[in-house]
Structures are given as structure tokens and as C-alpha cells.
Amino acid sequence: MTNRIIVKYEQKPCYTIAFETSFDKLIEELEKIYNLSEKKICVVSDTNVYKLYGEEVVSILKSKAKVVTDFVFEAGETSKNLNTVKKLYEKLICDKFDRKDVLVALGGGVVGDLTGFAAATYLRGIDFVQVPTTLLSQVDSSIGGKTGVDFDSYKNMVGAFYQPKLVYANIKTFDTLSLRQFKSGMGEVIKHAFIKRKDQFDYLKENSVKILEEHDGDILTQMVYESCLVKKEVVERDPKEKGERALLNFGHTVGHAVEKLANFELYHGECVIIGVMAALYISYKRGNITISEFRDAYRLITEDYKFSLQIPNIDSKEVLNVTKSDKKMENGKIKFILLKSIGEAYIDTTVTDEEILESIDVIKKNDWSFLNE
Ligand SMILES: NC(=O)c1ccc[n+]([C@@H]2O[C@H](COP(=O)([O-])OP(=O)(O)OC[C@H]3O[C@@H](n4cnc5c(N)ncnc54)[C@H](O)[C@@H]3O)[C@@H](O)[C@H]2O)c1
Ligand SMILES: [Zn+2]
């Protein structure tokens, strides 16, 4: 199996995504792009990830790089803000990092987004490398160049499009991830299959036990690789979200609203899956997907991957209102992503309030008996 993907922008190779089962090849990959003996590297990580992998990664880098420092911040979304970025700038200035030097983001999406933003802005841009350690960050946030931080209560409000120089995904890091965090990442993997790849949907169905319970290394590597391919192809064609990239928001329109209203008690992927169910329901009611496709999708989500679809005690109308205040609107209309079939998504701006309300009500009622009729 091939274990490298090259992401290209304007037909030019931009960066490699490497899939490995250890950190052993990190130096080899970095030496393809840098003369490490000239480089200062700052490993940016959070408290949880640094405890698990920080020492190993720092010592590997120290074997070749001129200087290796680290910057570790408190784990969690609440650290993804300008205050943490400020502390990182201070550290880089203190250690005299210049434009030739490199940041390495070792962690999940929070570390990747924050480090990418600091790299985009420090001295008007220095290089950074992503070493994603959650499933969500390997298949989603580390690819595509969206970086940023939250501002007050606004998620990802301040940021930049800025590409990494390398993404190095060590699938073994999933071994220490909680099942709930792993499943949250599965939300995005399932989303990628729905929007572009019926064959991946079938693969996820066939291999659910090996993926969820056994953490089979080969199957996981294949799954992460194929899922990254979907994201890569979309972002290459539409790097700045002018069109097709919106397809990646499948499940996110309603999902983001639920995430916000649940006060971020639910994980991102859990909310995305609720949003995916809403979008599937609307696609079914419109006659785009058949009842049998809808049933297959429902079973994959709730039986094979055991998502509960519980929406906390939130009024459906509130979900609708927050959905409509989301930033992804076009001329006052919600840009909703629906399916034509499993593996084929499209952008629709005609979804009505009633359709959205009905889809949320169905999920809240949690009565899926109509699927067996
Ligand atoms: N840039 C993008 O395109 C993009 C896309 C999707 C999501 N995001 C962002 O990504 C963030 C969510 O990412 P996430 O789900 O990876 O969250 P996260 O980075 O907060 O990681 C989740 C938790 O798992 C811990 N952790 C990470 N790796 C671990 C490991 N291997 N073993 C044990 N614990 C580990 C972390 O310390 C954290 O507590 C959000 O801020 C979201 O906005 C960005
Ligand atoms: Zn997402």
C-alpha cells in the first residue's frame, strides 16, 4: 500500500502527507525538505499530548536539528485563543527564531490550528509542520491550510489560510486516544465517505469491528489514507472555499448549531453526525436518496459506529435560529449540503425552515420505525 499523498496547489507539489505507525521516519521526511543542521525547531504541543509523545519527538529532532525548543499549553479548546498565541510569539522572540526556522505542531486540531496561525503571522510567516495525533486532525484539520483561533465566544474567528510544509500522521497515536475522541474523528471519516466515496462507505461498513474495537493497524492506515484523499482532492480544487470546498460542510450546518447550543459539551464529530442525520433525512424526504440508502446510512451510524444521536434538551426552533445565524450563508440563504446518493453531495440553497425543523424533530423523537416499513 502506498503511504504518501502529495497535496498540490495550482498543479505544483506543495506538501506531503506521510502515513506511518511510529515517529521513526520523521527525520527522513524532514530531511527531504530541510538541511536540519541549520534549523531551529520549536515543538508546540498541549499538556496531554506532550506528556505522551513530547519527549520522544523532541529527542528524535534533537539528533539532527541545530536547536530544539518546546512550547506546551493547557489542553483544550479554551486555550485556542490569541493569548496563547501571544505567549508563543514571546517564546519564539526570546529564543531568537527567525524566518528560516520551523514550528512543529504535535497534537490534535487545537494545536494544529493555533500553531499554523502563529506560523502564518510570526515574522509574516515561518514554516510549520503538522504532526497530528487525533483521528480528527489526521483526516481533517491538518490538511487544507485553514489555521486560526477562537475570539471571545466566536469559534475560528481569527485566522489565515496557510499551508504546512509536511503532514506526518502516526496512526499509532490513536492507541492513547479515548474511544469518545476516536469516534468523534469517525464523524469526519463517515462524512468524507458520504460526500464522495460510496466505496469507502462500504469499507467502513465491512470493517467496523476492526476499526472501532480492534484498532487494526493496516485497516486504520487504509481508512485514514482514503479519507485524507477526499479532503485533499477537494481542497486542491478549491483552496479558499469559493465553491466545492463547501461540500466538506456536510452535516456541519445543523451540527455547528447543536455544538454551540450544547455549550460544547458534545464533541465536534458527535454534533457533525447529528447534522449528517438531519441532512440525510432531508435528502430522503426530497426523494434524492432511497429509503434503503437512508436505512443503510442510519445503521452504519448507529449500529456499526454506535453513535447515540441524542440531542440535549434544546428546542428545535433554537437549533434552526442558530443554524441561520451561521457564517456560511449566501445572499441570506443557507448553503445546505445534501446528497444525490451515498457518495455524491451537492450544495443546495433551497432548503426551507420547515425541512430543517422537521429533520431536527425526527432526530429528537428518536423514532426510526418508519425505516422498517
Ligand atoms: N483547520 C481545519 O480545517 C479544522 C477542521 C476541523 C476541526 N478543526 C479544529 O480542530 C479542533 C478539534 O480538534 P481535535 O478533535 O483534534 O481536538 P483537540 O486538539 O482538543 O484534541 C482532543 C483531546 O485529545 C487530546 N489528545 C490529542 N491527541 C491525543 C492522543 N494521541 N492521545 C491522547 N490524547 C490526545 C488533546 O490533548 C485533547 O484533550 C477544533 O478547534 C476545531 O475548530 C480545524
Ligand atoms: Zn468538522
Distance, CA of 112 to CA of 17 (rounded, Å)? 14
pLDDT at position 183 is: 97
pLDDT at position 2 is: 60
Ligand closest in space to the Cα of 189: 2
Taking CA atoms only, the protein residue closest to ligand 1 atom 2 is 141
Cβ atoms of 126 and 154 closer than 8 Å:
no
Distance, CA of 302 to CA of 333 (rounded, Å)? 31
Ligand 1 atom closest to residue 111's alpha carbon, by position in its atom list: 19
pLDDT tens for the chain, 373 residues long, are 568 999 998 888 899 999 999 999 999 999 999 999 999 999 999 999 999 999 999 999 999 999 999 999 999 999 999 999 999 999 999 999 999 999 999 999 999 999 999 999 999 999 999 999 999 999 999 999 999 999 998 889 999 999 999 999 999 999 999 999 999 999 999 999 999 999 999 999 999 999 999 999 999 999 999 999 999 999 999 988 888 999 999 999 999 999 999 987 899 999 999 999 999 999 999 999 999 999 999 999 999 999 999 888 889 999 999 988 865 666 777 889 999 999 999 999 999 999 999 999 999 998 888 888 7
Gap from CA of 34 to ligand 1 centroid (Å): 27
CB 255 less than 6 A from any atom of ligand 1: no
SS3 106: strand
Distance, CA of 143 to CA of 6 (rounded, Å)? 11
Global pTM value: 0.96
CB 75 less than 6 A from any atom of ligand 1: yes
To the query of whether residue 241 is one of the catalytic residues in this protein, the response is yes
Ligand closest in space to the Cα of 171: 1
CB 81 less than 6 A from any atom of ligand 1: no
Q: Exposed, middle or buried, 207 (CB in 10 Å: 0-12/13-18/19+)?
A: middle
What's the length of the chain?
A: 373
Ligand closest in space to the Cα of 140: 1
Q: Which helix (H) or strand (E) holds 334?
A: strand 333-334
Gap from CA of 133 to ligand 1 centroid (Å): 8
Angle, helix 198-206 to helix 291-299, in steps of 10 degrees: 50
pLDDT at position 324 is: 85
